[in-house]
Amino acid sequence: MITLTSLAFSPVIYLSVVSGLIGLGFSFWNYKKVSSNKLENDKTEFISSNIKEGVKTLKNSRLLLLGLFAVLIGLLMYFFYGAERDLNIPISFIVGAISAVSAAYVSKYIATYSGEFVTSETAKSYKAGFKTAFNASIASGLSNVSIFVLGISVNMLLMSLLGVDIADALLVFIAFMAGVAIVSVLNRLRE
């Protein structure tokens, strides 16, 4: 019988961490294929560098605020719920929120920095532009999935090391997903 405590010693949890890391590696490789394209127009490069700078400032401040908000909610969860039932629920919420903030950061980074290459390649041919956009989308989507696989795996590993009872596993997973959902919704509201 598998319990959360035995999960820490199971190769399944480590396999899921490794698969998340492999997914991130493939995503990074795919993004490098996109960004290896050369920009052939100085005007495009000038405009895109200004856009990137503005987006970077907005993105970093927004994600920092989202992260701080998630930690605040996690602390409130601890004071209202976790003090009686250990730290399982607040920790899971915060790990979920960190996963969502990380996925949002990577997605926005890929979208911001690959747009100029998609534009440049589309100027050459629609086929080249489509291929570049497709690779950027793969990099973004795969990085999101990989980050969530890593987040869930790390959360379950933490919970198993903390000795969470299997009966609380569903609550822990719900708390993780609540962290993901709250950060994701708040991130979308600002766009």
Q: Using one digit for the tens of pLDDT, what is the confidence trace for 142-178?
A: 888 888 888 888 888 887 777 776 666 777 777 778 7
**62 is in which domain, residue-wise?**
4-189
Q: Using one digit for the tens of pLDDT, what is the confidence trace for 26-58?
A: 888 888 887 777 766 676 667 667 777 766 776
User: Of the ranges 33-42, 115-124, 181-190, which is most confident?
Assistant: 115-124
pLDDT of res. 136? 85
| Angle formed at CA 56 by CA 132 and CA 115, multiple of 5 degrees | 15
| Residue appearing with tokens 């856009």 | 51
- How many structural domains does the chain have? 1
**Which residues have CB under 8 Å from 39's CB, separation 6+?**
45, 48, 116, 117, 120
Phi, psi of 51, deg, nearest 5: -65, -45
Alpha-carbon distance of 156 to 43, in angstroms, equals 49
Alpha-carbon distance of 167 to 103, in angstroms, equals 29
Helix, strand, coil shares of the chain, percent, nearest 5, are 85, 0, 15
Alpha-carbon distance of 65 to 186, in angstroms, equals 10
Asked if residues 106 and 23 have their Cβ atoms less than 8 Å apart, the reply is no
Question: Does the pLDDT of residue 84 top 60, yes or no?
Answer: no
Output the CA torsion 53→28→98→12 (10° steps). Answer: 180
pLDDT of res. 1? 43
The answer to whether the predicted template modeling score (pTM) of the entire model surpasses 0.85 is: no
Asked if residues 59 and 105 have their Cβ atoms less than 8 Å apart, the reply is yes
